[in-house]
């Protein structure tokens, strides 16, 4: 050890970055389309983790315990649950405020976030305390050179994130929905005039973003096996910062920002735990002061 470049930290950082990337994508897609920082997005991630947890206890007997079928069912259910909650949140809380001042939506989003968190915390069968996440898949370390290993969990995290991100890229580039999403993010009014059902596109965006956060929740549960109702707050904020770092509204930017964030945080924490807690906000402040549009964000002149 001792050297500043440390392969193990890079591996750990990429693993953490994969989880951030899945959350950051939802933030950036929603922001790109409705210009809203969806404060509740971190809670969709939490819902994914709890759904996977519940799925394990419901289907454990049927599916014969841990293993790939169990993991697949948990993944699908987590994505479905988070996606539906995101869809519902959009319909009930954000859509009525679409043409009101932007801050009303932001405050509503804070309210939704609080509501979800405290509801989970107050419900007797969930409760505020930590729960140990079951071992759906065993973690086996694989040697990487001399002094680094990569666990099967890390491979799964990175792999699932990669597959989902490739899927999203195909969706955005080659499907009608993807084209509509890009059109709406550029100019809502023009898209409407072109016959695009803007509200439908927004709904799909929330659903997909929520589902990705749900997948991240499952992966996080498996990797850092401790879940609680407020677990979404910090990863949510960090993923948001990652999206800002990459250029909010920009899909490849969110992924890039998330991996930078994951690696930076892993290194900072290894150096000093307080620094690890603060690095995300330090990054945010530096980005906003030095390059507010983010690494890949575009500059556009304000209309005056």
Partner 1 sequence: MKIPRTPWLLVVAAGFWAAVQLLRLVGFNDYYLFIANLSLVYVILAVSLNLINGIIGQFSLGHMGFAAVGAYVSGSITTLIFKLSPNVAAHYPGFVLALVAGGVAAALVGVAIGFPTLRLKGDYLAIVTLGFGEIIRTVFNNIDAVGGPRGLLGIPKFSTFTVILAFALITVAVIRNIAESAHGRNMIAIRENELAADLVGIDTTGYKVKAFALGAFFAGIGGGLYAHLLQIAHPTQFGFIYSVQVLIMVYAGGVGSLTGSVLAAFALTILTQLLKSGLSSLKSLTGLPIGGDWYMVLYALLLILIMLYRTEGLMGTREAKLMVIPEEDDK
Partner 2 sequence: MSAVLKVTGMSHWFGGLKAVSNFNFEVPEGAIYGLIGPNGSGKTTTFNLITGIYKPTEGKIEFSGGDITGAKPYRIVRKGVARTFQNLRIFGSMSVLDNVRVARQYAPVSSFLASTLRLPSYKAEERARKAEAMNLLDVLHLSGRAKEQAKNLPYGELRRLEIARALATNPSLLLLDEPAAGMNPKEVQDLMALIARVRDEFKVTVFLIEHHMKFVMGLCERIKVLDFGETIAEGVPELVAKDPRVLEAYLGKKGGH
Interacting residue ranges for partner 2, rule: CB under 8 A? 299, 301, 303-304
Pick the piece of the chain touching partner 1 (CB under 8 A) from 12-20, 165-173, 211-219, 232-240: 232-240
Q: Does 104 bind partner 1 (CB under 8 A)?
A: yes
Number of H helices, E strands in the chain: 11, 4
The count of other CB atoms within 10 Å of the CB of residue 263 is: 19
108 scored as a contact of partner 1 (CB under 8 A):
yes
Query: In the set 21, 78, 284, 296, which binds partner 1 (CB under 8 A)?
Result: 284
Part in contact with partner 1 (CB under 8 A); list of ranges 48-56, 97-105, 189-197, 255-263: 97-105
Please pick, from the candidates 69, 128, 141, 159, the single residue that binds partner 1 as defined by CB under 8 A: 128
| Least distance to partner 1, CB of residue 114, Å | 4
Least distance (Å) between residue 297 CB and partner 2: 12
Closest by CA to 13, choosing from 238, 294, 247, is 238
Distance (Å, whole) CA 53 – CA 47: 10
Please identify, using beta-carbon distances, which residue of 290 and 304 lies nearer to partner 2.
304
Which CB, 98 or 192, lies closer to partner 1? 98
Question: In angstroms, rounded to a whole number, what is the distance separating the alpha carbons of residues 213 and 205?
Answer: 12
List the one residue out of 44, 29, 200, 46 whose CA is nearest residue 109: 44
Contact call for residue 96 and partner 1 (CB under 8 A): yes
* Other Cβ atoms closer than 10 A to 130: 11
Residue 301: which of partner 2, partner 1, none does it interact with, CB under 5 to 8 A by kind? partner 2
* Shorter beta-carbon distance to partner 1: residue 65 or 96: 96
If one asks whether residue 132 binds partner 1 (CB under 8 A), the answer comes out as no
CB atoms within 10 A of CB 285: 11
DSSP H helical ranges for 102-175: 102-122, 152-174
Q: Considering CB distances under 5 to 8 angstroms, the limit depending on partner class, which of partner 1, partner 2, none binds residue 93? A: partner 1
Tokens of 169: 């890229």
3-state helix, strand, coil in the chain (%, to 5): 75, 5, 25
- Residue 40 and residue 116: Cα distance in Å, rounded? 8
Tell me: does residue 142 bind partner 1 (CB under 8 A).
no
Q: How far is the CB of 229 from partner 1 (least distance, A)?
A: 9
188 vs 238, beta carbon nearer partner 1: 238
Which residues does 278 contact at the CB level (< 8 Å), separation at least 6? none
CA-CA distance, 30 to 142, in Å (whole number)? 37
303 binds, among partner 1, partner 2, none (CB under 5 to 8 A by kind): partner 2
For partner 1, the binding residues (CB under 8 A) are 36-37, 93, 96-97, 100-104, 106-108, 110-112, 114-115, 118-119, 121-122, 124, 128, 233, 237, 240-241, 244, 274, 277-278, 281, 284-285, 288-289, 292, 304
């Amino acid at each position: 050890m001792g050297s500043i470049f440390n392969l193990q930290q890079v591996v750990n950082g990429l693993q953490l970055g994969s989880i951030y990337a899945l959350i950051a994508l939802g933030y950036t897609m929603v922001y790109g389309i409705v210009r809203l920082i969806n404060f509740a997005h971190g809670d969709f991630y939490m819902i994914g983790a709890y759904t996977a947890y519940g799925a394990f206890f419901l289907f454990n007997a049927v599916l014969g315990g841990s293993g790939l079928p169990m993991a697949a069912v948990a993944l699908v259910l987590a994505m479905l649950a988070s996606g539906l909650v995101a869809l519902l949140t959009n319909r009930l809380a954000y859509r009525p405020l679409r043409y009101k001042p932007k801050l009303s939506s932001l405050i509503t989003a804070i309210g939704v976030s609080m509501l979800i968190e405290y509801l989970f915390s107050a419900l007797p069968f969930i409760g505020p305390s930590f729960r140990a996440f079951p071992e759906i898949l065993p973690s086996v370390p694989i040697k990487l050179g001399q002094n680094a290993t990569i666990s099967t969990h890390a491979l799964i995290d990175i792999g699932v994130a990669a597959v989902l991100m490739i899927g999203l890229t195909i969706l955005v580039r080659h499907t009608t929905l993807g084209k509509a999403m890009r059109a709406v993010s550029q100019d809502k009014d023009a898209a409407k005039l072109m016959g695009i059902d803007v509200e439908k596109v927004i709904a799909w965006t929330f659903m997909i973003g929520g589902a990705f956060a749900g997948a991240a929740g499952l992966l996080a549960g498996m990797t850092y096996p401790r879940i609680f109702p407020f677990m979404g707050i910090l990863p949510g904020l960090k993923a948001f910062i990652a999206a800002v770092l990459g250029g909010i509204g920009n899909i490849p930017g969110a992924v890039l920002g998330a991996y930078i964030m994951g690696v930076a945080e892993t290194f900072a924490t290894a150096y000093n735990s307080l620094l690890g807690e603060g690095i995300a906000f330090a990054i945010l402040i530096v980005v906003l002061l030095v390059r507010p549009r983010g690494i890949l964000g575009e500059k556009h002149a304000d209309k005056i």
